Amino acid sequence: MRFIKTFFSLLTSIRNVLFISLFLFSGTLQQAVEKQSDSRAEEKNLEFIHKTVTTINPEYSILMETKLDSLLKRRGFNGSILLAHQGQAVYNKSFGFARYSKNIEFSEENNIFQLASVGKQFTAVATLLLSEKNLIGLDDYVVNYIEDFPYPDITIRHLLNHTSGLQNYFYVIDNYWKSNHIPTHDDMLELIIKHDLPLNFTPGRRFSYSNTGYAFLAMIIERVSGSSFADFISDNIFTPLDMSNSFVYSPTMDMSIFEQPNMTYGYERTGRWLREIPLDYIDGITGDKGIYSCTEDLLKWDNSLEQNQLISESSLSMAFESGILRNGYRTNYGFGFRIKKGSNENENIIYHHGWWRGYRTAYVRLPNNTLLVILNNNTASISGLDNQIRKLIEQSNIPPVKEVKMLAYLSGRVENN
């Protein structure tokens, strides 16, 4: 009898355990089924799209690594070069030595060069910044801002377009500067007044490339802003654009900046020998020169122009528009930029070259932001090199970038309407 009771008790316990297990399993199973059902529902509500991604064309990279490298080496190029397409760098290289005297080769990036006359575009844009703030007028007379200016008929536009008729200030500095300190813009003006330099022609009658005009633009910027030209460019252009490896030379600056690892020096060749060119006493006058930068920073600068980050589209259009002489003839110069016809007569190439104390530079914008060429060199001539590069690219018929379509999806439920 006791055995039977024990047996039935055991059966009852087993039944209870099975019942509880079955209950728990059914709950887990239900959760799994619901989860799988939700997953399928979510999968059904995923929105699949085709996303286009722009990448550098490998065929273009191979072309650059062969033909362009070969061309630069044949030309004895010693410096940095950057090509960009639609704001994106597609080729960025340096060749040779930043400082021969110390056997210092170029770093991989951010090699700093004196831009020479390529820097005139910064002076022009700084002038347009003041114009957009209604602090100056482009057709105002210079004497309105520089009281002692001895040429009452010259306007700011004449300075920007190189139609002022001013003589080169190098002449008075080279012949009459006797002081030990580095001359400033005020010193330049004083010498011009003292030696009564006549104009080469009536303002607006002719085009004649003028470093003096851009030096006076820098002086106007100083008078109007109350800042030095170097500080104004830094505060209003370099800092906002994060151009951290760019600066304007000033006699008051910490000269240790010229000893940083990525700083280059200009050289002149005498026979087989290269001579390092030191800073010159005439370097104290800026606006026409004196700006230092690197290819990477110049790409930031060019993108800012394209995106109207600093000046409006209308102001940039004026900078890219040919100047007009009094007889109605159009020149090949805008505000800080040279202009020439591209392969398509309806499209212009915007460019500028520079040379100063061993530095040779080029900045070339092809039509519709299709390609930007930046050349910075500190030894050999680069005359015509930008044209050779442009022809090489055009003849290759290979686009710098290509678009790749990738399958992607946006998670989330799709509304059923």
Write out the H or E segment, with its range, that includes residue 403: strand 401-410
CA-based max dimension of the chain: 139
User: What's the number of CA atoms in the CB half-sphere (13 Å) around residue 133?
Assistant: 12
Nearest to 318 by CA among 160, 172, 210, 98: 160
Nearest to 169 by CA among 123, 136, 215: 215
Q: How many CB atoms lie within 10 A of CB 90?
A: 19
- Please, what's the b/e burial string for 305-320 (b: 16 or more CB within 10 A of its CB; e: otherwise)? beeeebbeeebbebbb
Q: Kindly report the CA angle at 154 between 284 and 227, in degrees rounded to 5?
A: 40
Spot the catalytic one: 80, 94, 117, 293. Answer: 117
Six token digits for residue 292 = 């230092």
Look at phi and psi of residue 162 and say left if phi exceeds 0, alpha if psi is from -120 to 50, else beta: left
Q: Are 311 and 93 in contact (CB under 8 A)?
A: no
Distance between CA atoms of residues 372 and 122, nearest Å: 17
Backbone angles phi, psi at 290, to 5 degrees: 90, 0
Distance between CA atoms of residues 343 and 386, nearest Å: 15
Instruction: Provide the β-strand partners of residue 99.
Output: 104
Distance between CA atoms of residues 72 and 95, nearest Å: 9
Sign of the torsion angle spanned by Cα atoms 302, 305, 310, 316:
positive
Distance between CA atoms of residues 355 and 374, nearest Å: 14
**Helix, strand, coil shares, percent, the chain, to 5:** 40, 20, 40
- Catalytic site residue 117? yes
Q: Tell me which residues are annotated as active site.
A: 117
